[in-house]
Amino acid sequence: MREVAIIGVGMTRFGELWDQGIRDMFAEAALKAMADANVDKIDSLYVGCMSSGLYTYQEHIASVMTDYMGQRGIPAARVESACASGSVAIRSAFMEVASGMSDIVMAGGVEKMWDIEDGTFVLATASDQEYEAYTGVTFPGLYAMMARAYMHQYGLTREELAQVPIKNHKHSVHNPNAQYPFEMDMKTVLTSSMVADPLRLMDCSPITDGAAAVILCPMEMAKQFVKNPVKIKAIGAATGPIALHDHKDLTRLDAVRLAGERAYKMAGLKPSDISFAEVHDCFSIAEIIVAEELGFFDYGKGGKAIANGEATYGGKIVINSSGGLKAKGHPVGATGVAQVIEAVEQLRGTAGKRQVENAKYGMTQNMGGSGGSSVVHILEAQ
């Protein structure tokens, strides 16, 4: 199996992109990635997208994107794993390059979420339709149950939970592509509208339009194109129950733990080796549970550790230097790819005021639904 590098990255600004359609956004990100990689042709394409058919009524988007970005004729496919679709696209591209089937492969992600009047039902398709969506339970409700269980079991306070979005918004200020690049204080979080007790509006990631793309090639070829390739050292993936009631413990996400364990094993690394991590903070409680499942904090200690500054600059590990899903935005199909782009920028040393000092290994964790799937990447600076 060949070693694989990322040689190019590109993304749109995340937000309400009313002047761009789904193909415009993807073409922008794809062409930026190709320019960054110094290539004018790719061998293959994987597009991560959760639900273009429901959001924009456009299926068969692999054909649309290859045509619109000027790469007509190449093999391409859309891949889907709910909010983890972008990461699965990268995993698919990695396997194609590692196997020797192709040399220059693009993995992208895209979602156009603002063009539909009410997208709640679209996101709910990532939950259990018969036992959750049918009864009216939404993802804020599911994660609220997880938050209540965690608070009851471990004594996490509402104020400590609020420190997750406060931290991530502080990180987002220096991210030019973030949807909401502004700081917020405790009062703003605790007085925002109640969504599903105990989660308030400022605990929830937003609806977002956006696209992101990366270019992969064999490590042995990487420096023919760029001076600063980033190695994909490991990928771990796993699935879990789609329905929350089938989880053995509402404070745990087994798919995240399994994906993390597989990535650590493939990389030959441990949690203490990781300089920074981009994790799936779709809701405040998600970042806490994920940080524990990845081994950064002991079970039951993650919430208080984050509240005490252990997940920001100067702490044990920097989590969500980009601002995370909460502040950067969450165009679900593009989210996992954007996480990898943040990791690449950190490992290249080009993250500006977001730069993590002496970054050697970076991790990304992306998941679908309430832990129904999860993908973990470990990247290495060269």
For 252, residues 6+ apart whose C-beta sits below 8 A from its C-beta are 289, 293, 299
CB 368 within 8 A of CB 374: yes
Amino acid type, 27: A
Positions marked active-site: 83, 330
CB 112 within 8 A of CB 52: yes
- The DSSP line for 115-143 is TSS--HHHHGGGS-TTTTGGGT--HHHHH
CB 53 within 8 A of CB 83: no
- The DSSP line for 142-190 is HHHHHHHHHHHHH---HHHHHHHHHHHHHHHTT-TT-SS-----HHHHH
DSSP, res 372 = T
- The DSSP line for 56-124 is TS---HHHHHHHHTT-TTS-EEEE-BTBTHHHHHHHHHHHHHHHTS-SSEEEEEEE--TTSS--HHHHG
CB 103 within 8 A of CB 218: yes
Distance CA 239, CA 228 (A): 33
Strands of the sheet with 230-239, listed across from one edge? 76-79, 44-48, 105-111, 210-218, 4-11, 230-239, 373-381, 361-368, 276-278, 318-319
CB atoms within 10 A of CB 32: 18
Amino acid type, 329: G
Amino acid type, 373: S
CB atoms within 10 A of CB 381: 19
